[in-house]
A = this chain, B = another copy of it.
Amino acid sequence: MSVFDASDYAAAAQSIVEAGRFLYQRGWSPATSSNYSARLDSQHLAITVSGRHKGALRPEDVMVVDLTGTPVQTRARPSAETGLHTVLYKLFPEVGAVLHTHSVNATVLSRLVPPGDALRLRDYELQKAFEGINTHEGELCVPVFDNTQDIDGLARETRRWFGNHADQPGYLIRGHGLYTWGKTMADCLRHIEAFEFLFECELLTMRTGG
């Protein structure tokens, strides 16, 4: 049986509890939606247990799974979308945290992007909030995958896309929400804030006829 460091788990669980409090308070994880994870080591991650209130998580609402998504040392059931997290940890060894949120803006915008298209963001100073981006002059490309209850299939799609676009920091699922990641939980939260800012800008511009 694979073994993880219990202190790493305790620290990861605490960082997830705090992230949840922040994300729920912002309205980005309503009604027990969303799931969050943090890497423990090369083989394990801590991830939220299925169906909990994200603004009131306790450490016991966070469990450990290995990179195949199998629960380790726990009777709890992980989020149904665990497979979307493990893809990212396997693909990007430097990734330390993955957050999936369900904001109104992400939901609405993802339904407005025509099928097959990606959301393309340009000329926003805030693009510099993403790791490795130093100017507003490039283009951020956010793919929009169709929603499905077949998580294995969606996991394969995301692996394929990000295998070819390792420099892009997140994706949308149509009518569902946002996935983004970062080296640390702080980086990942900064990415969430930046994406939500940009989604709000895009929707507001569309509404204002810009």
Contact = CB atoms under 8 A, between A and B. Distances in A.
Contact of A175 (B129, B136, B206): B136
Interface stretch (A67-75, A89-97, A157-165, A195-203): A195-203
Given A135-B149, A176-B136, A207-B208, A33 B129 contact: yes
Nearest to A203: B208
Given A108-B204, A207-B207, A208-B108, A124 B32 contact: no
A32 B129 contact: yes
B125 A147 contact: yes
Contacts of A186: 53
Copies in the complex: 4
A32 B205 CA distance: 23
Interface residues of A, number: 45
A198 B116 CA distance: 24
Given A107-B201, A111-B123, A31 B207 contact: no
B31 A126 contact: yes
A173 interface: yes
Interface of A: 30-33, 53, 102, 104-105, 107-108, 111-112, 123-126, 129, 134-137, 147, 149, 173-177, 186, 190-191, 193-194, 196-197, 200-201, 203-210
